[in-house]
Amino acid sequence: MAKVTTDKLSQLLIAARATPLVENPVHAEEAVFKALLDATVYAHVPLENAPEGVMRFIQFVRPDNKQTVLPFFSDREQAEAASVNRRVAIVAMSGRRLLELTRGATLMLNPNIDQVALYPPEIVALLEGRSLGYYTQETIEQSEQVGVCPPTEPANELVLALRDLFQREATIRAAYLAEIHRGADGADIFLLLTIVVPPAHKERLIHLITLAIQSVSSYLTLPLTVTCISPDASLPDLCHHGIQFYGT
C-alpha cells in the first residue's frame, strides 16, 4: 500500500510548480521525487494481453526533441484524460515499482501539466536514494557587458566530473569553461559552461550535468551556469577567453 496519498503528492507538486516564489525551491522539488517512490502512480498499457511474465507500457515521441518517453501520472484523473480516444488501459502501482520495471527508459511525469522528464541515470539515482540536484533557467541579454577570464578558483574536480560524463556522450562536440564577472562593479561572479551539442540533446544533457556535479558540489565555490550552442552556430567570443577542456 502506498505510504504517500494522492492528495499529499498533489500538494507537493503544487509547491514545486511555485518554486520561483518559495524560499527553498530545491527542497520542494526533492520532496516530490522522494514522495513519488512511495506514492501510487498511473501509467498506460496496451489493451492486448502481453506474454506471460512481460509487462508492456505505452510510450510516445515528444514533438519538441523527438525523444521517446514513457508517460506516467500522479493521479488517475490525468491518466484518464490522456487516454481519451486511445486503445489503452490504466495500471496503478507504487512509483518505486514503476521505476524498477522501466529501467532504461526515459519517463515523463504528468506530460500535459508538469512535463518532468526523468532520464535513466536519474532513475537509478532516485532508486538509490541520491539527489538529482536542481537548476533554474535564466535569459541573459545578448547586449549585456560582462568581464570574462579563465577560472580563477580551483575547478579541477568539476572539469574531471564533466569530462568523464562527456566522454560517454557521443553528441557533444566541445566544452568550454569561463569565469564571468557581471554587474556594475563585477561583483556577480559565476562559472559559465558552454557546450557545443545538437539542440535535441540539450535538455537531457543539462539533466545529466546537474546529476553529475552532485558528487563535486562541495568543491564548487562559484555558481555554475550552463549554455548549449548548436554545432552550426558561431562560437560565442566568451569561450575564447576561458578554457576548452573537452573536444572531439
The rounded average pLDDT for each run of 10 residues, N- to C-terminus, in the chain (248 residues) is: 85 82 62 94 89 86 94 96 86 96 96 95 95 77 81 93 94 96 86 96 95 88 93 94 94
Count CB-CB contacts under 10 A for residue 218.
Answer: 8
pLDDT value of residue 19: 61
Give me the architecture of the 39-127 domain, per CATH.
Answer: 3-Layer(aba) Sandwich (3.40)
Distance CA 70, CA 57 (A): 7
pLDDT for 75 equals 96
Residue 183: per-residue pLDDT: 82
Domain with CATH 3.30.300 in the chain: 147-247
Q: How many residues does the chain have?
A: 248
Nearest to 132, CA basis, from 16, 227, 4: 16
**Residue range 18-63, pLDDT digits in tens:** 865 444 455 788 899 999 999 999 999 998 877 777 789 999 999 9
**pLDDT score at 51:** 78
d(CA 76, CA 135): 29
**pLDDT number for residue 2:** 60
> What CA–CA distance (Å, rounded) separates 38 from 97?
9
Contacts of 215-220 spanning 24+ positions with Cβ under 8 A: 215/161, 216/157, 216/158, 216/160, 216/161, 217/133, 219/154, 219/157, 219/158, 220/158, 220/191
List, by residue range, all CATH 3.40.1350 domains of the chain.
39-127
CATH topology of domain 147-247: GMP Synthetase; Chain A, domain 3 (3.30.300)
Question: Residue 42 class from Cβ within 10 Å (0-12 exposed, 13-18 middle, 19+ buried)?
Answer: buried
SS3 53: coil
Do 153 and 240 contact (CB within 8 A), yes or no?
no
**Long-range contacts, 47-55 (Cβ 8 Å, 24+):** 47/87, 47/88, 47/89, 55/101
